[in-house]
Each structure stands twice: as C-alpha cells, then as structure tokens.
Amino acid sequence: PEDTLVCGGPCGQRYIARVAKVSKMAGDNVRRALCHNRTRVSMSDAPLIIDASPGSTGTRSLARALAAIGLKVLHCTYTVTPTDKKGGAVVNNAGGRLEKSSLADLFRARANTRVDNCHAYYEGFSFHHGFEPYDAVMDAPFAEAWYDIFLAHPNSKVIFTDRDEKSWAERRLSHSSASLPYLHPCAHRRAAAWDDVGGPEPVAELFAANREFIQCVVPEDRFLYMSVYEQQTPREFWDRLIGFVGRDSSSGYVGQHCGQPRDFRLSCT
C-alpha cells in the first residue's frame, strides 16, 4: 500500500513509538529506517521468499526445509540447495562470492560501527537487485533489512518464524555478534547494545515490537507465521509451508527433509 512508504504508515508509527520506549538509539534507528525517502524505489518481479525473523528462531531448520521443497536459499552467508539423489540439502559457504556481489553492502552495513555510515549503506542499496540467484533469503543481514527487500519485491512473500521472546533473548545472548532485533540496528550489536537497553527483558520487548510490526504491515495473503517450537503434526507443517511457497505437494519432501541431522530438521516425528 502507498501509505507504507511514509514511515511505514500507522503500523510503522506504532513500531517506532514502541521501540523508542525501550531505547532512544533503537527508536532513532527504526525511525530513519522507515522514514528515509523511498519515492524512487526500484522494483523486481521476482517472487522472493523473505524470512523476516532474527536468528535463533529456527531459521537454519527452515532453510533446509525450503531446500527440500526445491528452493535455493541464502541463509546469512551460506547457500542451501537441494540435492539430486539423496534429498535434504547441500550447504556451502558463499562468503567469498557474496563479497564480490551487490549484496556485500548489506553485510558492510551490519558490520559498520558508525551509525551514519551504516544507514548510508542501507539507503544507497538497490534492494531490487542482487537476489536473482536465490528463491529465499533469511537471517542476518536480510532479516534486518527485510522491509526494504519486501517493498522492492511486490511479488515477495514473508515468513516469520517465531519463538517466545524471553527465551529468545536469553538464547541470543550467547551469540557474540548478535544485533538487537529491529530494522537497521546500526551500531547496535552485542555486547554494548545489550547493555545499552538493559538486558534480556528489554531486548525481548524489541523482539515483540518487531514481530507486531511485521504482522501489521504485511498483507495476510503474503504472510506465513510459523513456530518450530510449538507442537504440530508433520503433515500440518508441510502442507502450510508447501502451500505458501506454491510448490507441488505430491513429492516426498517430508522423507527427504527428515534425513537431515536432527538439529536441522522440522516436524519429523
């Protein structure tokens, strides 16, 4: 919708206000992420799948599930692709290739410790370009720029892999390079960032605010909410996922995926 281009519309205004209550820096970052000039956004017709969730929400498992369905997935700096015979997935470190691609500036934005320089990377990035080799993208830095990618891909769909925000915050503390869970968290990475907002409970509130914004701004027919931490039958999980990405459900995707290592598979009981 057109009003989403102006600071994210009403959903964005609520998001900015909620985040700013937790941290002024987070509020300033989200406001700049949503309110910078988007009048010249270029578009791509590609039907990209975007996982808007931060890491530690089951993104690695989902990446392998999507690969079993036949999608080419970029999970952080790793490509996850289907195999020809055994099913499952092949995982390759694409870091070197990404450094030479147009996506490299998203990684540079995330690593930059100067707020203005970080935002400059985001604001100068052509979000309609660079994703052509992939059917789906997830985890950092894509989850931190999911909204920009979404606006530049009008045929895209968004998945949110959820987790209880308090347990997520406690788990994420163990990741030395984890950013805070909101759009364009410039210069707001652990450990200083977590100290800045006051620890796991305020971070959990940022996670909840981010989830609320995603659920508010993405149209229902382009959104899939999932939680790998909730009980569900294998068939229920796979029917929802396959239906959402628009693939044929007649093949043996479940059997292929369930041959993966235990830590990287979903709904196989």
185 neighbors 111 (Cβ within 8 angstroms): no
pLDDT in tens, 196-205: 777 789 999 9
Confidence of residue 86 (pLDDT cuts 50, 70, 90): very low
For residue 80, pLDDT over 50 is answered with yes
The predicted model scores a pTM of 0.88
Read off the amino acid at residue 179: S
What's the CA gap between 253 and 70, in Å, rounded? 9
pLDDT in tens, 138-194: 998 999 999 999 999 999 999 999 999 999 988 887 776 778 899 999 988 766 666
What's the CA gap between 95 and 76, in Å, rounded? 9
166 neighbors 200 (Cβ within 8 angstroms): yes
